[in-house]
Amino acid sequence: MIPATASPLRSCRLLGAAALVLLMVSAFTPAVNFLDAWIAVPSVIAPAAAIVVLGAGGGTLDDGLPDALSLRRALRGILLYRAGLAPVLVFSGSAAEIEGRAEMAQRLGVPAAAVLRAPGSHTTRDEAVLLRELLGGTGARRILLVTGEQHMIRARRVFERAGFEPLPVVAGGSAHGDTSPRARLELIRDICQEVVARLYYRAAGYL
């Protein structure tokens, strides 16, 4: 039997077959949903010193509101604040994203004094470092960390390394209950993307 690596064409066929199988299994079976449910971090809702809503890599849309993913995270944070779980609501991300979120929070009844802004960060690690500086003086250690489902595992570890005791609150991300082929493909893309990000963070010594 000729080894698969003996011929580039054979290797291409094997790679193509693997890609086809992965595509079909991902799109047409619940395997990805099970995988996502298995790796998901459950939310822990409890009183904390601050609610930290991480940026979603976006800005605001033409109407001045944050885009969909950013909006979901911000709304989750606002609801946690309105439930009285922390005295401070911190928005992180780009300046435009933060302003859109802060304005929305105030319109939804969060006092301006309770909203803190942490602009200028581009990555999850930047956010953790910046928030350590922002909240370090207040002694806030236990925080409600609001971010997307796939992002949570990495974000939680990065914030732990920055000295926080993060309580995960999942908002947004791909819903593992959505069983349409498109949603499943988006889910496997998000999972793969996060796996690569985690490998990069490990290689860079951030985790």
Partner 1 sequence: MREGFLLVLIGLTSAGAWAVGARRLGLDTRALGAAAGRLLESLGVIVIFLAANLLVAGFLILTARSVGPRFVSLYLVDDVVVLALSVLQGLAFQAWRGASPLPGTDGRT
Residue with Cβ nearer partner 1 (19 or 83): 19
Residue with Cβ nearer partner 1 (2 or 9): 9
Kindly state the smallest distance separating residue 11's Cβ from partner 1, in Å. 7
Kindly state the smallest distance separating residue 122's Cβ from partner 1, in Å. 4
Residue with Cβ nearer partner 1 (13 or 202): 13
From the list 91, 95, 87, 92, the residue with the least C-alpha distance to 111 is: 87
Positions that interact with partner 1 (CB under 8 A): 9, 11-17, 19-20, 27-28, 57, 122, 179-181, 193, 197
Query: Are the beta carbons of 149 and 56 closer than 8 angstroms?
Result: no
Kindly state the smallest distance separating residue 29's Cβ from partner 1, in Å. 8
Residue with Cβ nearer partner 1 (27 or 207): 27
Kindly state the smallest distance separating residue 167's Cβ from partner 1, in Å. 26
Query: Are the beta carbons of 144 and 169 closer than 8 angstroms?
Result: yes
Q: How many CB atoms lie within 10 A of CB 45?
A: 12
Six token digits for residue 152: 């949570």
At residue 173, the 3 state secondary structure works out as: coil
Please give the backbone phi and psi of residue 174, each rounded to the nearest 5 degrees, phi first: -85, 130
